[in-house]
Amino acid sequence: MNIISQATAFGGMQGVFSDGSEACKCEMTFAVFVPPKAITEPCPVLWYLSGLTCTHANVMEKGEYRRMAAELGLIIVCPDTSPRGNDVPDELTNWQMGKGAGFYLDATEEPWAENYQMYTYITEELPALIGKQFRADMSRQGIFGHSMGGHGALTIALRNPDRFKSCSAFAPIVEPSTADWSAPAFEKYLGSDRAAWRKYDAVALVSDGARFPEFLIDQGEADGFLENGLRPWLFEEAVKGTDIKLTLRLHQRYDHSYYFISTFMDGHLKWHAERLG
């Protein structure tokens, strides 16, 4: 593991690191905030997955999580959103595909399959590294994210209910298989057989029987992507009649930006801390 930068914040450590990824066949960068409590005891881990066009840096620089994470004793891990490098396939003029748009899935189609193994990277490879390199209690993990990262958080939690104790999202893409800005990418990554898409689609996973105890979703009503990309009401409808508890909060005047995310970040961190113990 390579140290790119380290700085003290609220008595803890904000670091940026990189490591060679076997899953993604490239050097992957990620950020980790370690609270001061980790000096004396292992702390629970909360994963934050970012959205389209983002890197690890967006939430690190604009998410305003460190003060509350330090107070609550949470390790915050912020992975990148896709593989990177000159040899990694990309669509330079398409922000919804390629670098910055990994959708937290394992691609099966060429040329994407060689590098775009983000599901394996997030659920297997990076957790092993975090558990080894930091004073992390890997028996207490939560996950949340924004937009594409909210999609990743919901689907990863639904597929790994024994690993994660909490899951929330800011403006998630709840049904990417039918959304205008994600379905084309799914076809390129996973092929034309839509049955293969279902394990990366939160609404489909619930319909197919996947379960997770509860979710918290915050959504701005002034979000320009609400109607065609996000559509949280589809997830609300999907969980009806199941034992999944959903708290869906709609907020007037809030958009898709980090002004929205930073406003409700403290509330999400407290919500996760209650469930992580």
* Active-site residue (options: 147, 166, 177, 182): 147
Is residue 68 within 8 A of residue 24, CB to CB? The reply is: no
Query: Can 256 be counted among the known catalytic residues?
Result: yes
* Active-site residue (options: 151, 256, 268, 272): 256
Query: Can 268 be counted among the known catalytic residues?
Result: no
Residues 6+ apart with CB under 8 A from 269: 46, 65, 68, 69, 72, 74
Neighbours of 158 (CB within 10 A): 23
Containing 157, the helix (H) or strand (E) segment is helix 148-159
Q: Beta strand 214-220 with 136-146: parallel, antiparallel or unpaired?
A: unpaired
Separation of CA 210 from chain center: 18
Q: What residues form DSSP beta bridges with 15? A: 6, 32
Neighbours of 228 (CB within 10 A): 10
Q: In what order do the strands lie in the sheet with 26-34?
A: 2-9, 12-21, 26-34, 75-79, 43-49, 136-146, 164-170, 214-220, 245-251
* Active-site residue (options: 182, 223, 268, 272): 223
In Å, the largest CA–CA distance within the chain is 51
Query: Can 147 be counted among the known catalytic residues?
Result: yes
Is residue 257 within 8 A of residue 64, CB to CB? The reply is: no
Nearest to 188 by CA among 103, 78, 252, 93: 103
Active site residues: 147, 223, 256
